[in-house]
Amino acid sequence: MIGAPPVRPGRPRVEGDWLLVPAPQPHRPFRLFCFPHAGGDATAYTPLAHALAPTAEVWALRPPARGGRGRHPMPATFDLLVRAVVEALTPHLTGRFGFYGQSFGALLGYEVARALPADRQPELVVAASASPPAHWAEDVRPREDPDELLRIAGMGELVQAEPELQEMALAAIRTDLAVSHTYRPRPHPPIAADLYAVAGADDPMLDTAEPAGWARHTRRTFGHHVVPGGHLLATVDRPGPVDLLTSIIGRLPERNPREQ
């Protein structure tokens, strides 16, 4: 007996200013909202979106001050950015959904999850390539060297042969780092979501043991995983930790994600 052909994702679509759906699914699977790294754009999650289908439908954040939103100003502080993202995401937070972010995007995704109203919080948060929140305020030195900025964002190899892309990437990185330097962690209770910290085995910027500190930030299931890769796991060239995400999503308990 010949099985049914695989369901093909639809054409990419933009939802408002803030969201890109790179591979829309005809059914209603688990929705995974993805937050880019410093200097990154939503398109970095296109390979991941295709690789996760049909298990999950990726909705990637489109930060301002780059790409198709080059004329849109970035909010001046991290708190204002969180507030803007919460407003943009809230109408789309229905059914089952979770957050995935890497580096700066991991911190942003976590703080957005905390800021959402109780009936709109994710049941899953995956923080990749990122130190726990308390570590983010420890080093706020301004950096101007282009090579160091590209290294910090893990983007050197992606744009090294394209001077124009380098300049665009540097502008976005400087914008995001300026916002990240305004972040100040505040005491707060653990979130009511499963939380997984992920590190690349060859990440030159993060000790693979450091993400274990995320454990204190959830009162649900916590997991700490080391996967192949460097600082940026999901890029325009690589889908990232597809097998791990597929496994985590598949193991989520059948509970009300708003359950407190």
102-149 residue pLDDT tens: 999 999 999 999 999 988 999 999 999 999 999 886 654 555 566 666
31-42 residue pLDDT tens: 999 999 988 899
Can you give the pLDDT at residue 4?
A: 43
47-105 residue pLDDT tens: 999 999 999 999 999 999 998 899 999 999 999 999 999 999 999 999 999 999 999 99
How many independent structural domains does the chain possess?
1
Can you give the pLDDT at residue 151?
A: 65
Can you give the pLDDT at residue 172?
A: 87
Can you give the pLDDT at residue 258?
A: 47
Domain residue limits at 24:
13-250
| Packing angle of the helix pair 163-180, 78-89 (nearest 10 deg) | 100
Judge whether 245 lies within some domain: yes
Can you give the pLDDT at residue 129?
A: 94
Judge whether 36 lies within some domain: yes
Strands (E), the chain: 13-15, 19-21, 30-35, 56-61, 97-102, 124-128, 194-200, 222-227
Judge whether 112 lies within some domain: yes
Judge whether 108 lies within some domain: yes
Can you give the pLDDT at residue 50?
A: 97
Judge whether 8 lies within some domain: no
| Rounded Cα distance, 168 and 68, in Å | 12
| Rounded Cα distance, 152 and 206, in Å | 11
Can you give the pLDDT at residue 173?
A: 86
CATH number at 56 reads 3.40.50.1820
Give the pLDDT band (50/70/90) at residue 156.
Answer: low
Rounded to two decimals, what is the model's pTM?
A: 0.90
| Rounded Cα distance, 36 and 80, in Å | 17
| Rounded Cα distance, 105 and 95, in Å | 23
Over pLDDT 70: what percentage of the chain?
84
189-222 residue pLDDT tens: 999 999 999 999 999 888 999 999 999 999 999 9
Judge whether 256 lies within some domain: no
3-22 residue pLDDT tens: 444 557 789 999 999 999 99
Judge whether 2 lies within some domain: no
Judge whether 150 lies within some domain: yes
Can you give the pLDDT at residue 257?
A: 45
